[in-house]
């Protein structure tokens, strides 16, 4: 072996032959592990970028606003609501409101306590409530100002301005105002600041703009609300505004014209309220429609409420309304379900004529009751009462005098009259829109309830009996109809068979829900009975006979509270030759049945003739 090895020698094959050297192939595993390690970090890097850009953008936008600038809203005026003749039903008044600047509140710890204390002492809002509002906003990644109170008094305005706190701002806003709030609240509804749910499900809203909560204000909120203008304020690190730039002009909300006749509604409101007070009653309602086009001329649900209370956020008065057992916020016209009583009889008459159950002149004798044989005890027949002795009545006099026995037999059958039966009754109820929504442009409409033998057996564990059919044939029992459905079917009789969609937004469109004009002959026969209801001395609405306008009508009394109380109804239309209005009046828990509804109806027809026809 050589003692000294030089570099050149090490490269020589001659030198290396003295060593036993084996070439070993390197493994790829280390490089594979390194590649996985690098790929993992690259993947984490890209995931983080995606997360920051798509999932945390609001958070960082909010931080950026806090640090460098923020957007201020220029609030738009809400659309004005007019009646059919141009009278204002809902408008705006410029007011001042107090805002809590969340950005300033978050970053200025030294201002938090003094801010909360002053909000409590000046505006009367508890610290806990303010903190809850802040937490709710932050949970939605929102840092726009919180409206603490609208319509500030001059005293509150002076005190807040004197504080000169960065956290509390004063802003101009348009406060909703209802000139005759209580009279039109059943239709107009009211507005308020948007809730968390409003912001989630109605994305066109911002949290500083009043939004519709009920009635027309809710139904057409998207049209009425408008869109805010935006001012972008750029600030330095010390919070000093460097640049203020308007980047979007406010867009006022769209004005709406309703079908409501404000003068007519005011008259109806005053007369109905006066009559209810005389009766010692609080609940009921009136609706008047034009049966030729479905326009709603008047709608009032009693008791009413002043919708300005919700705009001004008078907490005590709001709680008083919410806790009122008479439910003033409940619109009985569209949301209530009532047994219609004898007001259902014209519809049953049309069905019986169309199904050849009777002819208009066929007479049925009513001694004041109907005895149905009892197969289990022949000596004790089942007795179904009429409200008085009627004698022989045909279709016309049966409608006019509201004979129960006549419609028991026509609806359920007796003797040689086979009757419609429950399934045919249901079929005809549906033809005239009962049991389904009229699609009126208001929120909260009920579809009513039509009882079936299957439902009855499932609910009461008993089969449907003939007596059940008798009851619903005269509008009693489990039949539940909304007043808007009831007047709509009467409107279809008035216009010779077109069931129209009632509506409150004024336009020239007529929407037919069901064309029943092929029943014109049957409808005309029923109309004769409804005219006799007013003109015959024995008619149940004879009180209206001296009016200077021809009227077709029907009264109804529905038993409630296990026959311990009654709801009073009147439905009718005028003039008979060319109907321009169809009227429904009802009084809950009436003292004298249908007689309690007639004086209100009489005043309505008289006013309409003198002020809208005679003129």
Closest by alpha carbon to 331, among 305, 357, 292? Answer: 305
The candidate with the shortest Cα–Cα distance to 383, out of 367, 395, 399, is 367
Q: Which residue has the tokens 């406060």?
A: 175
- Cα-Cα end-to-end distance for the chain: 138
The burial class, CB within 10 Å (0-12 / 13-18 / 19+), for 522 is: buried
Task: Give the model's pLDDT for residue 177.
Answer: 94
268 & 225 share domain: no
Assess whether 164 and 306 both reside in one domain: no
Residues 194 and 253 in one domain: yes
Under a CB-based contact definition with an 8 Å cutoff, are residues 406 and 366 in contact? yes
Total number of domains constituting the chain: 2
The position carrying tokens 């002020």 is: 611
Which residues, 6 or more positions from 433, have their beta carbon under 8 angstroms from its beta carbon? 485, 488, 489, 492, 499, 513, 514
Q: Residue 172 belongs to what domain range?
A: 70-257
Listed residues 232, 257, 282: the one ending a domain = 257
pTM value is 0.82
Distances (CA, A) of 177 to 39, 93, 97, 152, 215: 64, 7, 15, 15, 15
- Same domain flag for 305 and 443: yes
Contact 476, 341 (CB under 8 A): yes
Helix (H) or strand (E) holding 279: helix 262-279
Cα 214 to Cα 195: distance, rounded to the nearest angstrom = 14
**Is the separation of the CB atoms in 120 and 127 below 8 Å?**
yes
With beta carbons less than 8 A apart as the criterion, state whether 183 and 304 touch. Answer: yes
- Measured from the Cβ of residue 593, the count of other Cβ atoms closer than 10 Å reads 21
pLDDT at 35: 73
Residues 306 and 426 in one domain: yes
242 lies in the same domain as 282:
no
Q: How far apart are CA 229 and CA 247, in angstroms?
A: 8
Residue 437 CB: number of other CB atoms within 10 A? 16
In DSSP terms, 74 is beta-bridged to 229
Query: Could you tell me if residue 122 is inside a domain?
Result: yes
Give 477-543 as a 3 state SS string.
Answer: CCCEECHHHHHHHHHHHHCCCEEECCECECCCCCCEEEECHHHHHHHHHHHHHHHHHHHCCCCCCHH
Cis peptide before 303 (omega within 30 of 0): yes
Render pLDDT for 96-123 as a digit per residue (tens, 0 to 9). 888 888 878 887 778 888 888 888 888 8
Nearest 5°: the CA angle 8, 14, 20 is 105
228-258 residues labelled b (16+ CB within 10 A) or e (exposed): bbbeeeebeeeeeeeeeeeeeebebbeebbb
Collapsed DSSP state (helix, strand, coil) of residue 304: coil
- Are residues 495 and 474 part of one domain? yes
In a domain, 45, yes or no: no
> To which residue do tokens 């004009």 refer?
517
CA torsion 542-546-550-555 (nearest 10°) is -20
Could you report the average pLDDT of every consecutive run of 10 residues in the chain (615 residues)? 50 49 56 71 71 55 52 83 97 86 80 86 86 75 74 84 84 87 97 80 74 95 88 62 71 96 98 95 96 98 95 85 95 96 97 97 95 83 90 97 97 95 98 97 96 96 95 95 98 98 93 97 98 97 97 91 80 98 95 86 97 89
Position 61 scores a pLDDT of 52
Question: For residue 471, is it within any domain?
Answer: yes
Q: Which of 196, 229, 257 is the last residue of a domain?
A: 257
CATH number of residue 84's parent domain = 3.90.1310.10
Residue 77, in any domain of the structure: yes
> What's residue 243's pLDDT?
64
Query: Residue 355 falls within a domain, yes or no?
Result: yes
pLDDT of residue 170: 85
pLDDT at 199: 74
594 close to 586: Cβ distance less than 8 angstroms: no
**What tens digit of pLDDT does each residue of 476-502 get?**
999 999 999 999 999 999 999 999 999
Residues 78, 182 within the same domain: yes
For residue 93, is the peptide bond before it cis, meaning its omega torsion is within 30 degrees of 0? no
CATH number at residue 285: 3.40.710.10
Are 493 and 431 in a shared domain? Answer: yes
Which pair of structure tokens corresponds to residue 421? 């039966």
Specify whether 546 is located in the same domain as 608.
yes
CB atoms within 10 A of CB 136: 13
User: In the structure encoding, which two tokens stand for residue 140, read together?
Assistant: 């939605």
The upper half-sphere exposure of residue 489, i.e. CA atoms within 13 Å in the direction of its Cβ, equals: 25
Of 195, 229, 257, the last residue of a domain is 257
**Per-residue pLDDT at 2:** 47
- Same structural domain, 247 and 277: no
In a domain, 33, yes or no: no
* CB proximity list for 76: less than 8 A, separation 6 or greater: 174, 209, 225, 226, 227, 228, 229, 250, 251, 252, 253
Residue 39 lies in a domain: no
Whether residue 377 is found in the same domain as residue 524: yes
267: in domain = yes
């Amino acid at each position: 072996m050589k003692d000294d090895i030089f570099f050149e020698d090490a490269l020589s094959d001659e030198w290396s032959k003295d060593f036993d050297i084996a070439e070993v192939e390197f493994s790829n595993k280390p490089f594979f592990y390194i590649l996985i390690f690098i790929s993992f970090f690259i993947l984490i890097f890209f995931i983080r970028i995606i997360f920051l850009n798509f999932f945390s953008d609001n958070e960082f936008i909010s931080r950026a606003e806090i640090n460098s600038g923020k957007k201020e809203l220029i609030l738009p005026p809400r659309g004005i609501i007019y009646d059919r003749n141009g009278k204002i039903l809902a408008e705006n008044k410029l007011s001042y409101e107090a805002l809590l600047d969340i950005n300033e509140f978050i970053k200025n710890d030294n201002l938090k306590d003094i801010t909360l204390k002053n909000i409590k002492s000046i505006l009367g809002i508890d610290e806990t409530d303010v903190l809850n509002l802040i937490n709710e906003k932050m949970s939605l990644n929102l840092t726009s100002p919180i409206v603490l109170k609208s319509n500030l008094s001059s005293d509150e305005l002076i005190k807040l301005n004197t504080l000169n706190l960065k956290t509390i701002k004063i802003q101009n806003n348009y406060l909703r105002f209802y000139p005759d709030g209580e009279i039109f609240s059943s239709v107009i509804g009211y507005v308020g600041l948007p809730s968390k749910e409003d912001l989630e499900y109605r994305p066109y809203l911002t949290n500083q703009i009043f939004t519709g909560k009920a009635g027309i204000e809710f139904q057409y909120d998207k049209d009425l609300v408008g869109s805010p203008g935006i001012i972008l304020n750029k600030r330095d690190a010390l919070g000093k505004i460097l640049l203020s730039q308007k980047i979007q002009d406010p867009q006022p909300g769209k004005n709406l014209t309703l079908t409501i006749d404000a003068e007519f509604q005011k008259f109806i409101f005053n007369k109905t309220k006066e009559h209810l007070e005389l009766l010692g009653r609080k609940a009921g309602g009136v609706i008047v429609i034009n049966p030729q086009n479905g326009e709603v001329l008047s709608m009032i649900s009693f008791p009413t409420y002043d919708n300005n209370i919700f705009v001004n956020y008078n907490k005590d008065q709001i709680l008083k309304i919410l806790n009122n057992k008479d439910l003033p916020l409940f619109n009985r016209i569209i949301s209530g379900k009532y047994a219609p009583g004898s007001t259902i009889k014209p519809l049953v008459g049309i069905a019986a004529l169309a199904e050849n159950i009777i002819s208009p002149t066929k007479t049925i004798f009513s001694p004041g009751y109907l005895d149905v044989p009892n197969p289990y005890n022949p000596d004790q027949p089942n007795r179904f009462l009429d409200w008085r002795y009627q004698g022989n009545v045909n279709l016309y006099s049966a409608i006019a005098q509201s004979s129960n026995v006549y419609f028991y037999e026509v609806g359920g059958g007796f003797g040689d009259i086979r009757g419609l039966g429950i399934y045919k009754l249901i079929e005809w109820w549906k033809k005239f829109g009962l049991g389904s929504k009229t699609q009126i442009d208001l929120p909260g409409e009920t579809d009513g309830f039509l009882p079936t033998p299957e439902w009855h057996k499932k609910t009461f564990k008993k089969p449907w009996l003939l007596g059940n059919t008798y009851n619903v044939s005269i509008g009693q029992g489990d039949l539940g109809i909304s007043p808007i459905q009831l007047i709509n079917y009467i409107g279809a009789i008035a216009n010779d068979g077109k069931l129209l969609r009632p509506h409150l937004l004024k336009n020239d469109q007529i929407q037919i829900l069901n064309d029943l004009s092929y029943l014109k002959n049957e409808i005309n026969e029923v109309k004769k009975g409804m005219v006799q209801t007013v003109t015959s001395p024995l008619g149940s609405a004879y009180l209206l006979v001296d009016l200077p306008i021809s009227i077709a009508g029907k009264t109804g009394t529905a038993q409630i509270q296990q026959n311990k109380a009654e709801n009073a109804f009147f439905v009718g239309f005028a003039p008979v030759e060319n109907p321009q209005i169809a009227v429904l009046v009802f009084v809950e828990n009436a003292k004298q049945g249908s007689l309690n509804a007639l004086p209100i109806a009489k005043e309505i027809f008289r006013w309409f003739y003198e002020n809208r026809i005679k003129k």
